[in-house]
Amino acid sequence: MAKSLIANNLTFKYDESTIIDNISFEIEKKSFVTIIGPNGSGKSTLLKLLAANLEPEKGTIILNDNELNDYSTKSLAKEMAVVPQETNISYDFTVYDIVLMGRNPHIKRFKKESPQDLSIVKEAMEATNTWYLRDRNINEISGGERQRVIIAKAIAQEPKVILLDEPTSSLDIHHQIEVLDLLKTLNKEKGVTIVAVLHDMNLAARYSGEIILMHKGNLITMGKTEAVMTVEILQQAYEMEMVIERNSYTGCLQIHPISLIKRQKELKNVGVHIICGGGTGKGLIQTLVDRGYRVTLGVVNKGDSDWELGCMYNLEMAEEMPFSEISDNSLQVAHKLANSTDVVIMTEVPIGWGNYKNLDILEAQLNQGKRVYQLCSNENIKFDYTGGKGLNKIQLLREKGLIVVEGKDKMLELLEEIK
C-alpha cells in the first residue's frame, strides 16, 4: 500500500527536554488517522513536525515519496494543508479572502484566480457552512466560526493530506459532527489523507480508521481503531477506570470514563538537593518529583518561581526572604537538607552576592565525598554577577570534584545509576 507520510526515528527537544522520543510510523494514502493521548504527551508537537512547522532534531519525514525538507513552500501547500489549534489571524481580511488564499498554491505568478478557483472556494465554504459569513471580518466572528473558515481554506487548497490539530475544540455538537462528516467524505470520496489530533476519544473512535496513541513523548501504539480502543491500552495511558461498549445507534465504540486510577507513586530511595532559583530548576524539579525522588531545595528566596514550585509540591526548602542575602540561619538549614540527600545539583542559576553562599553548600558536600553536579547547557557558566569571584569558586569546586553535566536528560541518566 502506498504511503502518505512516513516518520523515521523522529526526535524533538524543547531546550533540553525530549518532547518526541524516537518515534517511527507509516500512514497509508487515503487513511483517516487520529492522534490521541493525555495532555502534554506531544500530539501537537508531532503534528507541527509533520507540518514542517518545527524541524526534528533527529529523524526524517517522507511526504508522498519525497523528503518533507525537499518541498518548496508552494509545492508543499499543494500536497498538504494544515489546520492549527490556534486560528487567530493578525490581519483584517474578510472570511472570503481567507478561504481564497487556499487557492494561492494553484494560481500561477501574476495571474488572477480563475472562475474554477472561485467555484472551488464557494463549494468549500458551502460544505463548511461558512458561505453566509463571506463578507465578515475574520477577526469579528466567533472561535467556532473561525475554525470552520480555516477548514474551508484547507479544503479549497485541494491538498492530498490535511493535518488538523483539535479541529472540533471550539465547535458545538452540531458543527463537530458536521466538520468530521465533511472530513470523512473528503477522505472517502476524494481520497484525502486525514491526520487529526483529537481529545474526544468517542469522536476518534467514530471517525478514524487508525489511531496513534501518544504518552510522554512516546508512541505507545498505532493500529486499527478497534485494536487500540481497548480498556487495557487506554486505561494505562489515561490512568482511568473505563468501560468500552458498542453504541447501538452509531455502531461505533463508546468510551465511558468511570473513575481515576490513583496510582501509588513508586518512591525511589534517593534524595536530591537542588540549588536553583529564577525558574532554572523548574523542569528538573517537576521530573524528579514525578519519578519519585525525594527532592529538597535551597537556599531559595521566597516568591521566586522555583520556590513557588517547591511550595506546590510541598518540598522541604531552605528559604530566605525575597531579595535578601542568604543568612547564616537559612544556610544552616540548607546544609542540613543537603546532608540528608544522596546527590546535590546546582542548576544554571545566576550567581550574585545574594546567593553566593550557596556555593559553600556544594563545597561542604564535596568535602564529604558526595556526588555534586553542576547542570549546565554549556561548560562555561554565563551568569556571574560577583565580578569573577563566583567563577573562581566554581573552578575551585570543579577541581574538588564538581561534575559538569550538560542537559537534563544526561542528568536523569546519571541519577538512574544511583540505587
Ligand X SMILES: Nc1ncnc2c1ncn2[C@@H]1O[C@H](COP(=O)(O)OP(=O)(O)OP(=O)(O)O)[C@@H](O)[C@H]1O
Query: Which of the ranges 37-45, 50-58, 305-313, 383-391 carries the binding residues for ligand X, by CB under 6 A?
Result: 37-45
- Site membership for ligand X, residue 290 (CB under 6 A): no
Out of 4, 37, 147, 361, which residue is the one contacting ligand X (CB under 6 A)? Answer: 37
Q: Do residues 277 and 259 touch, judged by C-beta distance below 8 A?
A: no
Cα(364)–Cα(381) distance, rounded to whole angstroms? 21
What are residue 319's DSSP bridge partners?
A: 300
Question: Between residues 342 and 409, which has the closer beta carbon with respect to ligand X?
Answer: 409
Q: Minimum Å distance from CB 14 to ligand X?
A: 3
Q: Minimum Å distance from CB 170 to ligand X?
A: 14
What are residue 73's DSSP bridge partners?
A: none
The cell numbers describing 241, all together, are 477506570
The cell numbers describing 387, all together, are 565580578
Q: Minimum Å distance from CB 322 to ligand X?
A: 27
DSSP annotation of 405 reads E
**Torsions phi, psi for 129 (to 5 deg):** 60, 45
Out of 2, 39, 90, 388, which residue is the one contacting ligand X (CB under 6 A)? Answer: 39
Q: Minimum Å distance from CB 34 to ligand X?
A: 13
- Site membership for ligand X, residue 13 (CB under 6 A): no
**Torsions phi, psi for 52 (to 5 deg):** 65, 20
- Residue 238, CA distances (Å) to 63, 94, 216, 253, 358 in order: 31, 41, 11, 17, 41
- Footprint of ligand X on residues 42-71 (CB under 6 A)? 42-45
Q: Minimum Å distance from CB 213 to ligand X?
A: 11
Q: Minimum Å distance from CB 236 to ligand X?
A: 16
- Site membership for ligand X, residue 86 (CB under 6 A): no
Query: Which of the ranges 38-46, 55-63, 261-269, 314-322 carries the binding residues for ligand X, by CB under 6 A?
Result: 38-46
Q: Minimum Å distance from CB 46 to ligand X?
A: 7
Q: Do residues 135 and 95 touch, judged by C-beta distance below 8 A?
A: yes
- Site membership for ligand X, residue 303 (CB under 6 A): no
Out of 9, 40, 57, 74, which residue is the one contacting ligand X (CB under 6 A)? Answer: 40
Instruction: Answer left, alpha or beta for residue 369, where phi above 0 means left and psi between -120 and 50 means alpha.
Output: left
Strand order in the sheet with 66-67: 17-28, 3-14, 58-63, 66-67
* Binding residues for ligand X (CB under 6 A): 14, 19, 37, 39-45
